Amino acid sequence: MGLTVTCVAMSDWRSFEERTIELTPGLNVLCGPNATGKTNTVEALQLLTAGTSFRHPRTTELVRDGADEGRAKARLEGDGRVIDVCCRAARGRRRTYERNGKPCRPADLSATLMSVLFCPDDLSLVKGSARARRDALDAFGAQASAGYRKVSKAYARAVEQRNRLLKEAHVDLGMLEAWDGAVALGGATLLHARMALFERLRTQIRRVYERVADEPLECVYDCSIGPDAAGLTRDELRDLILDAIAERRAEELRRGVTLVGPHRDDVSFSIGGRDARSFGSQGQQRSVALAWKMAEVAVARDVVGEQPLLLLDDVMSELDARRRAAVTEFVVGRIQTVITTANLQYFPPELLECAEVIDFGGC
């Protein structure tokens, strides 16, 4: 079964002076009215598993007003192991992480237990900019593999430095060529890993979408170096990127930015031949976002060999009965789930019977 979170404890963390919550290995429902700390708890769980959070908090925001240092801890248990993880946030300092009392990097936390989070903002996976989709792919890849994380960071740095050079008043062309090489190699490495990851996700996204919406969905990785990139080796990709860079040299110099590479790619969805972003109904778009997240769960399980922790923040109220049923079907599988809600009526009674309901005030 792998690891599950048995307990999360927060002190001087966000709105909590002190709060300890015991979790079951199955379904946990955090129930309470607005502003009672449900999302704060989900955020703590995400930081302790993914090493990042969808809220992108500044460290100071995590510290309870009036306190100096906030702490969130979780105990993970399973397969005869007990692992304690901790995140410390002190005002004006970088936050630090610990694993069994020893300092560690955020990447060590996701290597211990991955998590998948689904929240209403995830509609941006369909409606948002290309960047939202790329970032989602890379964030998932980074959690699933330390190698992916390194490659994606190194590439982002290379593009940033090359852009800085392109913006200079007099660009040193010899230097630019050196950066062409770095961007092409880093870009090819990332692209290769990202397309492989997307291919796994794509299969699952289509499968889940079809089950939820009863119609087929097409998903395509739109590659800025052309439609033929799929299936190429890393060296072939590097050569393609170098060619594309050479072709757009003048334009890049004029605009001062790197115009080719995986930082310009996108993912597109279409239903019945029409682009879901522009033509999909709200319901169809929600189903695509839901399918993406459920696909992440399935792929995490395949890649890492263990179930991730599933965090669902405030999603039930946004979904119609059919999509709620799909979520329900998913969470009754053997996966530890933490779900927040202001209203237990969104949950079928038979589901609540096997769930731990955690009271956040007047539920």
Distance separating alpha carbons of residues 132 and 144, to the nearest angstrom: 18
Instruction: Specify the residue, 64 or 162, whose C-beta has the smaller distance to ligand ADP.
Output: 64
39 is a contact residue toward ligand ADP (CB under 6 A): yes
Task: From the list ligand ADP, Mg ion, none, pick the one residue 4 interacts with, judged by a Cβ distance below 5 to 8 Å according to partner type.
Answer: none
Which of 3, 4, 19, 36 touches ligand ADP by CB under 6 A? Answer: 36
61 is a contact residue toward ligand ADP (CB under 6 A): yes
* CB 331 to ligand ADP: min, Å: 19
Instruction: Specify the residue, 227 or 362, whose C-beta has the smaller distance to ligand ADP.
Output: 362
Distance separating alpha carbons of residues 117 and 262, to the nearest angstrom: 24
Per-residue contact flags (x/-) with ligand ADP for residues 10 to 29, judged by CB under 6 A: ----xx--------------
Instruction: Specify the residue, 4 or 39, whose C-beta has the smaller distance to Mg ion.
Output: 39
* CB 69 to ligand ADP: min, Å: 12
Query: Is the torsion defined by CA of 100, 71, 47, 94 positive or negative?
Result: negative
The site for ligand ADP, by CB under 6 A, has a size of: 14
28 is a contact residue toward Mg ion (CB under 5 A): no
Distance separating alpha carbons of residues 142 and 128, to the nearest angstrom: 21
| Stretch in the footprint of Mg ion (CB under 5 A) among 8-16, 34-42, 161-169, 258-266 | 34-42
Where helices occur in the chain by DSSP H, the ranges are 38-49, 59-62, 106-112, 124-127, 130-144, 146-166, 173-213, 234-247, 249-255, 276-279, 282-304, 321-331, 349-353
39 is a contact residue toward Mg ion (CB under 5 A): yes
Alpha carbon 273 to its chain centroid, in Å, reads 28
| Stretch in the footprint of Mg ion (CB under 5 A) among 35-43, 221-229, 315-323, 344-352 | 35-43
DSSP calls for 72-112:
EEEEEEETTEEEEEEEEEETTS--EEEETTEEE-HHHHHHH
Residues 229/223, Cβ–Cβ less than 8 Å = yes
What are the backbone dihedrals phi and psi of residue 342, each rounded to the nearest 5 degrees, phi first?
Answer: -95, -5
178 is a contact residue toward ligand ADP (CB under 6 A): no
Interface residues with Mg ion (CB under 5 A)?
Answer: 38-39
Interface residues with ligand ADP (CB under 6 A)?
Answer: 14-15, 32, 34-40, 61, 63-65
